[in-house]
Amino acid sequence: MTYDVIIFGAGAAGLMCACEAGKRGRSVLVLEHNVSVGEKIRISGGGRCNFTNISVGPENFISQNEHFCTSALARYTPEDFIRLVEHHGIMYNERKLGQLFCDGSSAQIVSMLLEECRSAHVEIRTGIEADTIKKKENFFVTTGGQILTSKFLVLASGGLSIPKIGATNFGHRIARQFGLSIVEPRPGLVPLCFSGTLGSLCSELSGISIEAEVRCGKMKFRENLLFTHRGMSGPAILQISSCRKEGEEIHINLRPDIDWMDVLTINRTEKKLLSTVLEQYLPGRFVELWIQNLGETKPMNRYSLPELQHIAGALANWTVIPIGTEGFGKAEVTVGGIDTNELSSKTMEAKKISGLYCIGEVVDVTGWLGGYNFQWAWSSGWVAGQFV
């Protein structure tokens, strides 16, 4: 069978590309190896899908080419996707930091995309594995003994994150087959793991959350930090995990709204214990275990000024080095992927292979936590849909 466009992956980017190409009169076939479409959309945002953010720019993305995403994001914006959501009567709400969620279920976004595809006469096949993909003048895809041909081929098969819902290295493997370079993939938006004394501390504090500013290199995020049995998670840690390279240290400012030296100085002449002072601002269990690492708590009037400066510094610049992450199994996204130097930022087409397009998470563009990765999927999918 012959089509104008064959798209691998019925996720956010793939479905967006499919309906846009279909609207232009293209015959489109979407192949999905899972038995259902949009699995990552369904589980996102606690089942309510954080489908975009009201403020999106290149600065919200991580890539070896920080400017690559600029064109796509400018041509299909959060406002464009919001209009689509509203057109389908989907109610939504804005949460902190501009995050937009469905009032109902994330399944509404999947249904919306499927309706757009049906209207554009897009064919979708699920539970399909490609045996071979070759290119002569056109692309030839063999699957289950059937040969499918198309002028355009789109890789929208996602990254390696969350393999339990079907994530594989298919897109990277096919890109390599066609000679495209890959930026080594690693887990992003993922909990961090610690060992030794710090690992034990985190385990004992599992479930406790503290507002923090977390910094690594030039990047910093201010949100909650959550202790886990294996280390640290929570929005602030997930955000910094995407930016951090192996071996880099992380600096944590606990309760960044507080000047710890001011707090300690104000109480310097008091007889109350250091723990009593800190428990006014931090969870009691955290204070108890954290002070054990400093040494025995004393009445405030028995601390010297240098000791108080050390304590304030430790609270405002707690320096830690993770031993690793919880891996792709717990990662929300993949950092790395198909090298953007291989692609046109205007069309998403591979420079070396005419007719081959790469979109979404399979590409080396990774958004922050907060709807940015979905917006990249919508934007890159829309752009490719205008050219295939």
Mention every residue, 6+ apart, whose C-beta is less than 8 A from residue 359: 13, 14, 17, 154, 155, 156, 348, 377, 380, 381, 383, 384
Mention every residue, 6+ apart, whose C-beta is less than 8 A from residue 3: 27, 28, 29, 123, 148, 149, 150
pLDDT at 27 (0 to 100):
98
Q: Report the predicted TM-score, pTM, of the whole model to 2 decimal places.
A: 0.95
pLDDT in tens, 115-151: 999 999 999 999 999 999 999 999 999 998 899 999 9
pLDDT at 117 (0 to 100):
98
pLDDT at 281 (0 to 100):
97
- Tell me which residue of 26, 122, 154, 57 sits closest to 368, measured CA to CA: 57
**Which residue numbers in the chain have pLDDT < 70?**
none
Q: How far is CA 177 from CA 87, 174, 182, 320, 351, in A?
A: 40, 5, 11, 40, 15
Residues 383 and 347: their CA atoms lie apart, in Å, by 6
Q: Can you say whether residue 260 is alpha, beta or left, with left for phi > 0 and alpha for psi between -120 and 50 degrees? A: alpha
pLDDT at 205 (0 to 100):
97
Domains and CATH numbers, the chain: 2-185+334-385 (3.50.50.60), 192-325 (2.40.30.10)
Query: Mean pLDDT in the chain?
Result: 96
Residues 207 and 228: their CA atoms lie apart, in Å, by 6
